Amino acid sequence: MPKIPTLKSREVEHILERAGFVFIRQKGSHRMYIQGMRAVVLPWHTKDLRKGTLSNIIARSGLSVEEFLNLR
């Protein structure tokens, strides 16, 4: 399993959209994306996402780390 890099929210948004997720709504600084029955909440700010947060987003998306990074 490759190491999880540091990514910004905008980069993760791009990856999620390429994976077929659709932006549904935003509440405060969190955006929600949905694909079928899967929902992913993405913190929306300019800083790098923490690795734990990013690994949780990857897990909730149903993609492996390799698949997620290949969509970059």
Residue 32 φ/ψ, nearest 5 degrees: -115, 130
**Residue 1 within a domain:** no
- The 10s digit of each residue's pLDDT in 14-72 is 999 999 999 999 999 999 999 999 999 999 999 999 999 999 999 999 999 999 999 99
> What are 36's two structure tokens?
């079928």
Give the global pTM.
0.92
**Residue 4 within a domain:** no
Residue 29: closest CA among 52, 12, 9: 9
**Residue 40 within a domain:** yes
Its domain, for residue 53, covers: 9-70
CATH of residue 16: 3.30.920.30
